A and B are shown apart, each in its own frame.
Chain A
Amino acid sequence: MTVKHLLNEQLLMGYAAGILPEAFDLVVASHLSLSDESRAMLGGYEAVGGVVMEETESVEMGAHALESVMARIKSGKEITEKPAVRATRPGVLPEPLQEYVGGDVDKIKWRPLGGGVKQAILPTSGKAQARLLLIPAGVAVPDHGHRGTELTLVLQGSFSDEVDRFSRGDIEIADEDLNHQPVAGPEADCICLAATDAPLRFNSLIPRLLQPIFRI
């Protein structure tokens, strides 16, 4: 599988630096699970982070910090690191996303949005919001713009909009300038993970009225 639409520099750097809101981290981690190329690029930006850390003015550690650390190591109490994430449950949802959903697609608690479109909001901290979207094959999502940045990662099927066609692993980065109407491809229902740092702005009256109700 070749993923065509990758992350941009700001997002890779933001993820490498650890400064993105949790909802964006989730989309990026899920995308990285599906794209070797993005993962390699992340390695590059993490290396920049290592260099920046090396170049930052150091601040003296507290007195006896090393002794205290050695004592903590020898007490053996702090081996509570979470195990490395492994793809033990291959499915439609990449592992980091399965952690949030509590399993694969069959565990998603969908809520209908009308027109066969469904969504499930995922619990994340911070201002940005993450949600899963299901768009039935061939169906269009209402035409909408964005107040901030919207990241959309395709997990199943595909969608097309004014920009291009996006399939599994592809990520679309939409900002305020993009007004688009994604249409799901005919081959399968399209499942996406989307994160927004500001509410979407729908261009017709009815979806705009529904917005506060559905929190999209």
Chain B
Amino acid sequence: MGPTEQPRSQGKDWNAQILRVRNHRDEAAFAALFSHFAPRIKGFLIKSGASGTMAEECAQETMITLWHKAHLFDPSRASAATWIFTIARNKKIDAFRRAARPEPEDLPWGPEPEPEAADALALSQETEHLATALNALPEKQRDIVKRAYYGDLTHSELAEETGLPLGTIKSRIRLALDRLRQTLNEPVK
């Protein structure tokens, strides 16, 4: 990281740190990821109703899984924050339910030694747009979106539209779809 690094590229740096863990079992990169993500995972889990002890344990387990599963990380499919979020979410469900939750079938991702850099970049930019869009929401709506993820909505709030800017999320979805079709060698419509 040099002084010319733009703050907006931070998300991409986390991707690079995971790749360092993946490729070189780099402990310094892991420590950097730990100090950024573990307290956020813990905070998120406490908001989701976990006790301090449970949140601490799930956050630690999430980071251990990150180490062991780093080879499955593909920055053209998910950004670092997205990927870590899904690991933490599954740990939370397992802890609450004491059983693994149903996961969809794994797709036959094509043989590709390295994910395409352009895909990874486009995805990481879209994820940043998503963050910007979320922060641009009026306070009340932003609060509803957040609490939806904490599992902390009343029945009537759940039924309401969240007001998430669909344009933003749709372009993120579009990218994922194109990527899927590319991998499955189908023509992109």
With contacts A51-B134, A52-B145 known, is A59 near B39, CB below 8 A?
A: yes
Across the interface, name the chain B residue whose C-beta is closest to A78: B64
Complex partner residue of B89 from A17, A26, A41, CB under 8 angstroms: A17
Residues of A within 8 A of B27 (CB): 70
Residues of A within 8 A of B145 (CB): 48, 52
Q: Is the CB of A96 within 8 A of B105?
A: yes
Q: Does B141 contact A (CB under 8 A)?
A: no
How many A-B Cβ pairs are below 8 Å?
A: 206
Interface residues of A in 44-62 (CB under 8 A from B): 44-62
Q: Which of B1-9, B112-120, B173-181 lies at the binding interface?
A: B173-181
Interface residues of A in 75-108 (CB under 8 A from B): 78-79, 81-82, 84-87, 94-97, 99-100
Complex partner residue of B102 from A30, A45, A62, CB under 8 angstroms: A30
Q: Is the CB of B41 within 8 A of A65?
A: no
Secondary structure at chain A's binding surface: helix, strand, loop or mixed? Answer: helix
With A and B bound together, what is the CA distance between A22 and B94 in angstroms? 11
With A and B bound together, what is the CA distance between A163 and B169 in angstroms? 27
Q: Is the CB of B105 within 8 A of A85?
A: yes
With A and B bound together, what is the CA distance between A70 and B27 in angstroms? 9
With contacts A49-B89, A50-B81 known, is A58 near B148, CB below 8 A?
A: no
Q: Does B73 contact A (CB under 8 A)?
A: no
With A and B bound together, what is the CA distance between A62 and B143 in angstroms? 28
With A and B bound together, what is the CA distance between A43 and B105 in angstroms? 14
How many B residues have CB within 8 A of the partner chain?
Answer: 80
Residues of B within 8 A of A54 (CB): 40, 81, 131
Secondary structure at chain B's binding surface: helix, strand, loop or mixed? Answer: helix
Shortest CB distance A24–B (Å): 10
Interface centre among B35, B81, B104 (most CB of A within 10 A): B104
Q: Is the CB of B177 within 8 A of A46?
A: no
With A and B bound together, what is the CA distance between A47 and B174 in angstroms? 13
Contact with A along B175-189 (1 / 0, CB 8 A): 011001100100000
Q: Is the CB of B42 within 8 A of A58?
A: yes
Q: Is the CB of A52 within 8 A of B134?
A: yes
Q: Does A9 contact B (CB under 8 A)?
A: yes
With A and B bound together, what is the CA distance between A134 and B75 in angstroms? 42
Across the interface, name the chain A residue whose C-beta is closest to B108: A87
Q: Is the CB of B130 within 8 A of A47?
A: yes
Across the interface, name the chain A residue whose C-beta is closest to B35: A66
Residues of A within 8 A of B162 (CB): 9, 13
Shortest CB distance A105–B (Å): 17
Contact with A along B63-80 (1 / 0, CB 8 A): 111011100100001110
With contacts A17-B89, A85-B106 known, is A61 near B59, CB below 8 A?
A: yes
With A and B bound together, what is the CA distance between A50 and B130 in angstroms? 10
Please name the 8 residue pairs, one residue from A and one from B, whose CB atoms are nearest each other, closest first: A19-B151, A58-B39, A50-B81, A50-B82, A32-B104, A40-B176, A29-B102, A96-B102
Report which A residues bind B (CB closer than 8 A).
9-10, 13-14, 16-19, 22, 25-26, 29-30, 32-33, 36-37, 39-41, 43-62, 65-66, 68-70, 72-73, 78-79, 81-82, 84-87, 94-97, 99-100, 125-126
A-B contact pairs, 7 of them (CB 8 A): A19-B48, A43-B77, A60-B39, A61-B38, A73-B64, A81-B68, A86-B105
